Amino acid sequence: MTQGSFDVYLLPEEHSTIRAAVRELCDARVAPNAAHADETGDFPKASYEALRAADFHAPHIPVEYGGAGADALATAIVIEEVARACASSSLIPAVNKLGTMPLLLAGSDAVKAEFLPPVARGEAMFSYCLSEPDAGSDAVSMTTRAERSGDGWVLNGVKRWITNAGVSEFYTVFAVTEPGARSRGISAFVVSKSDAGVSFGAPEKKLGIKGSPTREVYFDNVHIPDSRRIGEPGTGFATAMRTLDHTRVTIAAQAVGIASGALDYALGYVKERHQFGKPIADFQGIQFMLADMGMKLTAARELTYAAAGRSERGDADLTYFGAAAKCFASDAAMAITTDAVQLLGGYGYTRDYPLERMMRDAKITQIYEGTNQVQRVVMARQLLNGVG
């Protein structure tokens, strides 16, 4: 076997170049804002401006709509590198993809032409409204309604756990349009925060990702023209699930980024910290921890990139790989950040060092876009159906 046979396992040069560019930008202009965003809960506007100026705020938007046209792997790398510096800021490109993916998958040409260019230009952000107070993992039990009214729809209901709510201008909203039809009675619409009847709850008081606002979104007789419908009536739930197949890859990338930042910081610390007359990096117990952390991170990254490739191609086994990447990478991130805190001892437990923030930020990756318990159900069903 020739050396060239192994090229398939190398990251393409263009993607390595993207990684280097994003890392340089984030080290200089995103990382310095991370602690402040966490401490105050303020949306990191300076980080957003830096990402927007470099076209990393929504890199997945196709070129025909004014975007950078990044493929799924490049987008995952952007999210990974931003998360390495600041998990809250990584939700800018991640949620812009989440919110717009239904349009890319099922929207009409007119809907895409109206709503994707403002996101590409950085004039608006896009959020995703699926979960409700009594419909989280069981999203098909949603109660938000959209009823026909003339040539449009009237929307009423509430959505919960909406990332970047209040900051985003646009929202993909899933609502029941045919009661009793379960998953086949749900449709999707684009709603603007400027629409009459749209309002927001107070920001949630969260464990982590504090710089990314999470709020309820209320719809009180919101009139939506039919031109803002995404796909045919009754296809919204299928679009929502197809979207998550793709965007679970971005959560995996976020988890990889958080873990990468934690391991990098811990490596620097253990080489500098001296006990018993030598760096603690020289102790075998520390080395075993580092080896396990590195092994988990490498495996998570490779699985995430494999899932990104399937997302780009739209492979039949994307559902399995998206769930596997999200589940494995987020579990790895939680383990790696916890060990990183341990490596710093008492210092790791204080806010003077970034690892306790990274550990708190990592936890949400095991929960949102489908808990890891749900991901295991998804994977098992795929395996039982002969996919995976």
What is the set of active-site residues?
Answer: 369
* H helix count then E strand count, the chain: 11, 10
- Identity of the residue numbered 243: T
Those residues whose C-beta lies under 8 Å from the C-beta of residue 303, and which sit 6 or more positions away, are 252, 321, 324, 325, 328, 329
Measured CA to CA, the distance from residue 85 to residue 354 in angstroms comes to 10
Query: CB of 46 within 8 A of CB of 100?
Result: no
Q: What is the DSSP string of 217-236?
A: EEEEEEEEEGGGEESSTT-H
Measured CA to CA, the distance from residue 55 to residue 30 in angstroms comes to 14
Q: Which two tokens stand for residue 167?
A: 């900051």
Q: Which two tokens stand for residue 125?
A: 């952000």
Measured CA to CA, the distance from residue 95 to residue 113 in angstroms comes to 19
Q: Using CB atoms within 10 A of its CB, is residue 144 exposed (0-12), middle (13-18) or buried (19+)?
A: buried
Query: CB of 304 within 8 A of CB of 252?
Result: yes
Q: Which two tokens stand for residue 260?
A: 């990468």
State the Cα torsion 220-226-230-232 to the nearest 10°. 120
